[in-house]
Amino acid sequence: MTKLARDIMTRNVITVPQSMDVRDLAKLLLEKGISGAPVTDDRGDLVGVVSQTDLIYYSLSRDDELTIRTDFYASARMEGSHIPTGFQIEDTNTGTVEDVMTPVIYAVAEDTPVDRIALMMTREHIHRVIVRDGQQPVGVISALDLLRVLPAVAASA
């Protein structure tokens, strides 16, 4: 019997809204122990995928200044004397998931055979495929999900 996407997909899909702040995205990925998630619009339709790699690339490619001149030191005192002039670190990272995400979605239907999914992931060099019903995500299949079942698929062929 051929295994299908619905047989191996993770059903409780954690999606992120395209308007989510990238700091909140990073916290969510760490908290849930996942490396990426489908991105949805206000209607819940798929608009992209975001991963830890996207976050790293985004962080490394920005030209934000980490420090700015400040007058804080003019009024601050330490043990009665003025603190020497210096710089203050400012968090300027106010991007959203939409700024970071990959807008290309590799998706399959629930009745897609697992061997076709494995071929797609290998050919496209991707680590996850979204399972969808219309434009709504209903599952995710990761490379690890495939590794769990492919020996069984190969043995039955």
Domain residues for the domain of 92 are 5-156
Number of structural domains (the chain) is: 1
pTM: 0.73
Report residue 4 as tokens. 């299908």
Residue-wise pLDDT for 35-87, tens only, equals 999 999 999 999 999 999 998 888 887 765 444 455 555 555 556 565 555 54
d(CA 25, CA 36): 9
Phi and psi torsions of 17, nearest 5°: -75, 145
Task: Write the CATH number for 143.
Answer: 3.10.580.10
